[in-house]
Structure 1
Amino acid sequence: MLLLEQLLDEVRAGRLRVPRFQRPYVWHPHQMLDLYDSIERGYPIGSILVWETSRSLPTLDRVAGIEVPPAPDGPVAYLLDGHQRLSTLFGTLVHRPEPAGTGRDRQWWIYRTLGAPDQRDLLFQHWGKHAPPADLLPMQAVLRTVDFLAHARRLARDPTTAGNSDALVDEAEQVAQRIKAYKIPVIRLFGGDLEHAVEAFSRVNSSGRQISPDQMVSALTYQAEHDETLTDRIASIRESIADSGFGDVAAEPVFQTIVAITGEDDVQGARWTALADRVGKTLDGVVAQAEVALHRAVRFLRYEAGVPVAWLVPYPQQLVLLGLFFHHRPDPDGAQGRALVRWFWSTSWSTVFVGGNAFQLRRALHQMRAFANGKAELSLQGQYAQPLPDRFDTEDGRVRAFLLWELNHFGQRYGLDGEPIELVDLLARSGPAAYRRIVTGTRDAANIANRIVLPTPPGASVRDALRNLPLKLLRPVTVSHGIPPAALAQLLADHRDGFIRERTAALVGLEQGFIQEIGGEDLTWDTTPEDGS
């Protein structure tokens, strides 16, 4: 056990260091405040896991934006678990050169409300507008006697607190004492190598968060002569894909693509230490190849498969498999391209990737590698197209498949003024929120057929906006959004359930026709009732 102040002194002296392979600081303001609330109430905040070794590892030269000195000679402790908590405490308790509430560092200024009538409330807050009132005790002053005394004098002089300054100073001293006396358990690993340290972290880290495979391989393949970790490179790939206009893709499929390119079929549960040993020296080349392949996969999705933005990809495994294909076959011929389009749509409608089935993914990787190398065809046998879901839930891959089909089938959409809607920009900017409910006040309001992409003026519902359209615009606007005449008649008559029923029937029929056209005899319909009976 170490006193909180002792732990921060270790960081300030450079003896406790944050390895560069650690994930960056990602905590939100409310998490920072919750941490302080737990400390003041004496609740445990978890242990800190450190690895003490004479081995030299590249580390961060700044923690929470504060410069730390180089490591001293001799053994050094490397932080394996607790980065978010330690950075929060270091960044908010240690004196910062920048004034409170200015610049990018304002998140590190946390205050404790003094004199609150109900001590059960959350008493900590951020303040970044202007000079804080006197009854807010800055955490920056807690460990520095000079700053604490200065704040006590301010309480005595400020007209808003002078009459109650003695009580407020007493409360501030109690707060400071609770923080100074707070002890944090420190688990120390001595000696050994980085592989064993990372394995220990993955088993016993106090936060309960298992280290992700990409973080583990990033740690195990870290090379001192390189500035970037695997985690850095994955972040860079994600940024470059986002910059292309496709939007954000998750780290996991990028990492899995890198693993697949190394020749692995088990990209979800490989023996990461063995993989790191096998590809350690060649990892830079593999990552570079993966970046090129993923950009080719993204171009295919956008311009061949009709996926305008990343969040509409039904399953992340599809991106991994396409990345693997374009690594082996950078310039496919027309027949291969058409086969890939057919495969993409078929796997979007089926359950082959639902739930992250590891066996199905291993088999799909093996088949895709063989297809790319001209040794096999992409078979769709055994795949079953799932029916259209009732509810609009964009976490459901089958819902995203429907949205993609609808985007491609209806093409250009028109706004209330009869002008074309910049659909891709709207979807990229607003995400799923771009899909608005048409009618409300019905039990089927959550139905997927009750959503369209149609901006309206503030305060205007989609239903009212459509019903109030001039006759010359009514038909072309509604048809462009996939509202057939029978459904429109129900909407104009304010028969809301009838509208949803008619539009659902029309959309289901159109989508089933497209599925049959794409899948042919290989992709069959799942006729199992939804209740599984």
Structure 2
Amino acid sequence: MSFRTAEPALKDVLDDIAKGNTQLPDFQRGWVWDDNHIKSLIASLSLSYPIGAVMFLEAGGVPFKPRLFAGVNLQPAPKPKTLVLDGQQRLTSMYLSLRSGQAVPTRTEKGADIRRFYFLDMAKCLDPEADREEAVISVPESLQVTTDFGRKVELDVSTPALQYEKRLCPVALIFDPMGYMNWKMGFAQHHAQNPEAAMFLMRFDQEIWLRFQQFKVPAIELTQDTPREAVCQVFEKVNTGGVTLTVFELMTATFAADVGAFNLREDWDARQERLTAKHDVLKAVDGTSFLTAVTLLVSYRRHLEKKTPVSCKRSDVLRLTLPEFKGLQAQLEAGFKRAAELLAEEKIFDTRSLPYATQLIPLAAIYAQLGSKALPDGIKQKLLRWFWSGVMGELYGGANETRFAMDMQDVVAWIDGGAEPRTVRDANFAPARLLSLQSRLAAAYKGLAALLMKHGGCDFISGTPIDVNTYFIKATDIHHVFPRTWCEKQKLPREQWNSVINKAPLTAETNRFISGDAPSVYLARIQKVKQVAPKSLDGFLDTHLIPVTHLRGDDFEGFLRLRAIALLDLIEQATGKAVPGRDSEETVKAFGGALVA
């Protein structure tokens, strides 16, 4: 990759935009600057203040679909010579306000859409004591500023004569030589009886107008040999406005420029609708995730054929070809649907209850690779062991592309009779971690809630097990078993009562009925008011692995230790391996005893 530096005149830069020589790559976002930003930019130009460098990409290398700048209408659009990587907002603002001759479609600070023309208060521009931003005036498309719901005109510049009278110069004429010359002649004629006006106009020409003509724009131009992944990295590093370029946007522009002009955005929108029609949990999958899954499968199959490394990092996704995408997209779509079906069996129904959205990527790719081979229960149990090892071992919380590739190879090989995947071997859950699982921010917290629902998790009042219908209709969530209010009154340690050990999936209605009372009180109320037999209620509690005797006796300390033991047993069942450290010094200190039955 190489680059050139230059300082083209602002006039030439805007001319190239108008001619279509300079365009935007289609992955650039829409233009969003508001009215105040535009006025500030014009003020900076009038003072010859630096406005920052812009970055161009020489066209002809990476095949990005181009698009014209906002306000440029050329039919047909010519092939661009350069594409803008950094500076879109500034260049668009300058083109629309200074060069297009059109009202600028912008917005207020509050986001309301407006259309504006801009004027320079010539007197304020020449006053060294005046605030230059106050010298830039924004007026509606009607060229009249009104108040009282349009009944009172505060400023009228709708005719040249009114502009001459108020000495307000249209910004749109600054780079229009003929238009500006005619406007100056009109100004001189209007003020013909005032000798001071001629000197005033000359000063404005020399001190303000000339600054615009001489303004240079620092520019860096990447040459056409710049690879696609480098463009992506450069774009993100130079964009200081907080706009992150996603792989999906970059690939959308790339596929659009390919033979046949494939519209990845339309394809994904339709696919996303199909994916989420029956599976709320797949709302966690975005376009970039889908492309990553396709790349993972492409790389894995290439590995099988050529023994190349398996990888689905950002740079690998950016090298994905349209034929590769088209060849595997249907298999991956089916893979994601099968992944969602597996999670539904595990009582994970939506994005809120999904421990790791990222884990869907290798799971879908594995399903796509296995096809019908994944149907037998023995294969499903291996997939579940791998899934729960990733969740309870909290192994999918960081940069995961390396683990995606590792699991893709390991899990498929395991199913074919190979060794346990490294994710299964690496997974480890420390008993004391139960106390620090306090909210949905932790994947293991959501994982335990799902495991409890899978274990039976009957509602305290209705006795109905939680399935996909009751989960959504009854607004099931994770609530305290010993209510928060009661725990705080007893001055129990928050670390204990707010941990996952004291939580259970309950319907909103049941949680309200429990209120903030002691367990002995709310259990008695359930039996009396809701007419639930004590034995039945004990059975409902048992499905949540709740030590019934300790709960009925308001024995929080005994409850905490016994339920912690039960939750560790549940984790062992899911991961297929023992939880170490049940009787370690750390565990005994945290729970007042070993966590063994």
What is the TM-score when the length of structure 1 is the normalising length? Answer: 0.67
Q: 1:189-268 maps to which residues of 2 (within 5 A)?
A: 189=221, 192-193=224-225, 195-196=226-227, 199-203=230-234, 205-207=237-239, 211-216=245-250, 223-230=257-264, 233-234=267-268, 236-247=270-281, 248-251=283-286, 252-264=288-300, 266-268=310-312
Q: Which residue of 2 aligns with 1:295?
A: 337
For residues 348-369 of structure 1, give each alpha carbon's deviation from its aligned partner in whole angstroms, at most 9, with x where no partner exists: 2114434336654443222123
Q: Which residue of 1 aligns with 2:455?
A: 409
Q: Which residue of 2 aligns with 1:140?
A: 116
Q: 1:142-157 maps to which residues of 2 (within 5 A)?
A: 142=118, 148=140, 150=142, 152-155=144-147
Secondary structure at 2:440 match in 1: coil
| Alpha carbons 2:449, 2:505 under 8 Å: kept | no
Q: Percent identity?
A: 13
Secondary structure at 2:455 match in 1: helix
Shift of the 398–16 alpha-carbon distance from structure 1 to 2, 3 Å rule, reads: same
Q: 1:42-57 maps to which residues of 2 (within 5 A)?
A: 48-53=54-59, 57=64
Q: Which residue of 2 aligns with 1:126?
A: 111
Shift of the 154–220 alpha-carbon distance from structure 1 to 2, 3 Å rule, reads: closer
Q: Distance in 2 between matches of 1:125 and 1:410?
A: 50
Q: Distance in 1 between matches of 2:506 and 2:96?
A: 44
- What is the CA distance between 1:401 and its match in structure 2? 1.3
Shift of the 14–306 alpha-carbon distance from structure 1 to 2, 3 Å rule, reads: same
| Alpha carbons 1:325, 1:372 under 8 Å: kept | no
| Alpha carbons 2:392, 2:444 under 8 Å: kept | yes
Q: Tell me whether 1:447 sits opposite 2:499 in the alignment.
A: yes
Q: Which amino acid aligns with 1:312?
A: S
| Alpha carbons 2:347, 2:467 under 8 Å: kept | no
Q: 1:89-104 maps to which residues of 2 (within 5 A)?
A: none
Q: Distance in 2 between matches of 1:507 and 1:143?
A: 73
The correspondence for 2:409, drawn from 348, 356, 366, is 366
| Alpha carbons 2:248, 2:291 under 8 Å: kept | yes
Q: Which residue of 2 aligns with 1:80?
A: 85
For residues 251-278 of structure 1, give each alpha carbon's deviation from its aligned partner in whole angstroms, at most 9, with x where no partner exists: 35423311111124654537538x727x
Q: Give the stretch that moved more between structures: 374-383 or 459-468.
A: 459-468
| Alpha carbons 1:38, 1:44 under 8 Å: kept | no
- What is the CA distance between 1:340 and its match in structure 2? 1.4
Q: Which consecutive residues of structure 2, in runs of 5 or more, have no partner in the other structure? A: 1-6, 121-136, 158-162, 175-210, 301-308, 588-597
Q: Which amino acid aligns with 1:321?
A: P
| Alpha carbons 1:483, 1:503 under 8 Å: kept | yes
Shift of the 456–312 alpha-carbon distance from structure 1 to 2, 3 Å rule, reads: closer
Q: Which amino acid aligns with 2:343?
A: L
Q: Over aligned residues, Cα RMSD in angstroms?
A: 5.5
- What is the CA distance between 1:521 and its match in structure 2? 4.3
For residues 36-69 of structure 1, give each alpha carbon's deviation from its aligned partner in whole angstroms, at most 9, with x where no partner exists: 6975996998655333426785345896xx8954
Shift of the 392–377 alpha-carbon distance from structure 1 to 2, 3 Å rule, reads: closer
Q: Which residue of 1 aligns with 2:355?
A: 314
Q: Which residue of 2 aligns with 1:284?
A: 326
- What is the CA distance between 1:327 and its match in structure 2? 1.6
Secondary structure at 2:239 match in 1: coil
| Alpha carbons 2:457, 2:465 under 8 Å: kept | no
Q: Which consecutive residues of structure 1, in runs of 5 or more, have no partner in the other structure? A: 101-107, 112-123, 129-137, 492-497
Secondary structure at 1:392 match in 2: coil
Q: Which residue of 2 aligns with 1:463?
A: 516
Q: Distance in 2 between matches of 1:192 and 1:325?
A: 38
Q: Which amino acid aligns with 1:439?
A: R
| Alpha carbons 1:143, 1:176 under 8 Å: kept | yes
| Alpha carbons 1:47, 1:185 under 8 Å: kept | yes
Q: Distance in 2 between matches of 1:288 and 1:165?
A: 61
- What is the CA distance between 1:457 and its match in structure 2? 11
- What is the CA distance between 1:326 and its match in structure 2? 1.2
For residues 17-42 of structure 1, give each alpha carbon's deviation from its aligned partner in whole angstroms, at most 9, with x where no partner exists: 3434x166598xxx968966975996
Secondary structure at 1:511 match in 2: helix
Q: Which residue of 2 aligns with 1:120?
A: none
Q: Kindly tell me the number of residue pairs found equivalent between the two proteins.
A: 474
Q: Tell me whether 1:515 sits opposite 2:571 in the alignment.
A: yes
Shift of the 10–453 alpha-carbon distance from structure 1 to 2, 3 Å rule, reads: farther
Q: Which amino acid aligns with 1:511?
A: L
Shift of the 334–151 alpha-carbon distance from structure 1 to 2, 3 Å rule, reads: same
Q: 1:58-77 maps to which residues of 2 (within 5 A)?
A: 58-60=65-67, 68-70=73-75, 72-73=77-78, 75-77=80-82
Q: Which amino acid aligns with 1:154?
A: T
For residues 326-362 of structure 1, give each alpha carbon's deviation from its aligned partner in whole angstroms, at most 9, with x where no partner exists: 1221122221112212222232211443433665444
Q: Distance in 2 between matches of 1:159 and 1:276?
A: 60
Q: Distance in 2 between matches of 1:399 and 1:354?
A: 13
- What is the CA distance between 1:286 and its match in structure 2? 2.5
| Alpha carbons 1:61, 1:70 under 8 Å: kept | no
State the structure with more CA Rg: 2
Q: Distance in 2 between matches of 1:310 and 1:140?
A: 43
Shift of the 330–47 alpha-carbon distance from structure 1 to 2, 3 Å rule, reads: farther
Shift of the 149–62 alpha-carbon distance from structure 1 to 2, 3 Å rule, reads: closer
Q: Distance in 1 between matches of 2:504 and 2:43?
A: 47
Shift of the 528–191 alpha-carbon distance from structure 1 to 2, 3 Å rule, reads: farther
The correspondence for 2:392, drawn from 320, 333, 349, is 349
Q: Distance in 1 between matches of 2:567 and 2:510?
A: 31
- What is the CA distance between 1:192 and its match in structure 2? 1.4
Secondary structure at 1:262 match in 2: helix
| Alpha carbons 2:296, 2:312 under 8 Å: kept | no
